[in-house]
Amino acid sequence: MKKIFHQLTATIMSMAIVLTLGSSFIRADGLSVERNEDQITLSGSGTYTLEEDLTIPIVINGIDDNDGLTNVTINLNGHSITTDAYYGITGGAYVTVMGPGSVYVNNGDAIRGMDVTVIGGEYTATGFNEFENFDSVTIDATGEVNISGGAVLTGPYTVFTIDEITVTDDCTLNGWIIYYNWETEELNYVSSISEVVHSSFEENYDEATTTDATATADTTTTTAATIETVAAVDSEQANAFVERLYDTALDRTGDATGVEYWVNALVNGEKTGSEVAYGFLFSNEFIINHGSSYEEYVKTLYEAILGREADADGLAYWVDALNNGMTTEEAFDGFVASAEFADLCASYGITA
């Protein structure tokens, strides 16, 4: 069963962040501080207090001179970080950002790291993060996320993590919460923190894979036992197959980079039709924009996988099954195992 997590860049994979908002610039007790026109870089462990509003991001080096994790407190002190960079605060290990204050990022993520704790303040992420090829995320983490102190988070996604999420009742999250449930092996998207099933970081993390319809860096892990020999695929037919998935699953025209990636995967025999379809229907873009209900999900399966509209009986059957414990992956498997999907793939000269 495939597992999904949002892949952070290698430079922040081993980092931790703890937040409490405030604002202002200048004091840096125990820290090495470098500032240029693009960013402020913090090294070592200590406290950093802003004494002015910032229009550049803060980057925290997560490893100290002894190869240990740094411990940094950022006191925003009532000021703000407002930037068009890909992030407002990123990196570091064991970082506390103390409020009140705010972080506003246009077309980027407000906070990125591993463990992230927010205490108070307002955090906003807007638009599309081109660096990640993904809608902006207020807190983008691979570890634990802790939110308290009346913090307000706003964005297309407010939280993305594959570990535990803790939010106190006085906080407000205006946007989707995305987390990976290790028990069901699914990427979950919810609009209320009460719906989040806390799940711990497990050893099988290394087996997880990321799927995004537009990001060429994302990969799907395949073992030697699952690789099959496939016949040569015509690039024009592969292109048509991919374009119809962009249309039926994502409701848009394919971008050049994404189309090229998926077409090459089909032509080179790296992926089957069902694996490409999985990439679209379990992509972050589909989940956030088109996965608002089981009914919508099933209708998309009919259109994208079977090439037709859902009949009333079939729609009722699958929606009822999903409401009573069937996972979205199990429903997907049922559709791609059908003769209709095999015939559809054959019409494009590819293997289902």
53 three-state secondary structure: coil
C-alpha to C-alpha distance for 41 and 30, rounded to whole angstroms:
14
Task: List all residues 6 or more positions away from 236 whose beta carbon is below 8 Å from its beta carbon.
Answer: none
More confident residue, 196 or 27: 196
DSSP symbol at 311: P
pLDDT at residue number 207: 29
Helix then strand count (H, E) for the chain reads 8, 22
User: Is the pLDDT reported for residue 132 higher than 70?
Assistant: no
Domain 224-347: CATH architecture, name and number where available: Orthogonal Bundle (1.10)
Average pLDDT over residues 121-150: 83
- C-beta of residue 152 within 8 angstroms of C-beta of residue 293: no
* Mean pLDDT to the nearest integer, 194-205: 38
DSSP state letter for 250? I
pLDDT value, residue 29: 58
Alpha-helical regions (H) of 208-307 = 235-245, 256-267, 273-281, 284-290, 294-301
pLDDT for the residue 284: 73
Work out the pLDDT band at 222, boundaries 50, 70, 90. Answer: very low
For the stretch 172-195, pLDDT in tens is: 888 888 776 666 666 667 665 555
Q: Which residue has the higher pLDDT, 166 or 240?
A: 240
Q: Classify residue 204 as exposed, middle or buried by CB count within 10 Å of its CB (0-12, 13-18, 19+).
A: exposed
pLDDT (tens digit per residue) in 73-94: 888 889 999 999 889 988 766 7
**What single-letter amino acid sits at 14?**
S
Mean pLDDT (the chain) is 75
The torsion defined by the Cα of 216, 218, 221 and 226, in degrees rounded to 10, comes to -40
- pTM metric for this prediction: 0.50
Domain ranges of the chain: 19-207, 224-347
pLDDT band with cut points at 50, 70 and 90 for residue 200: very low
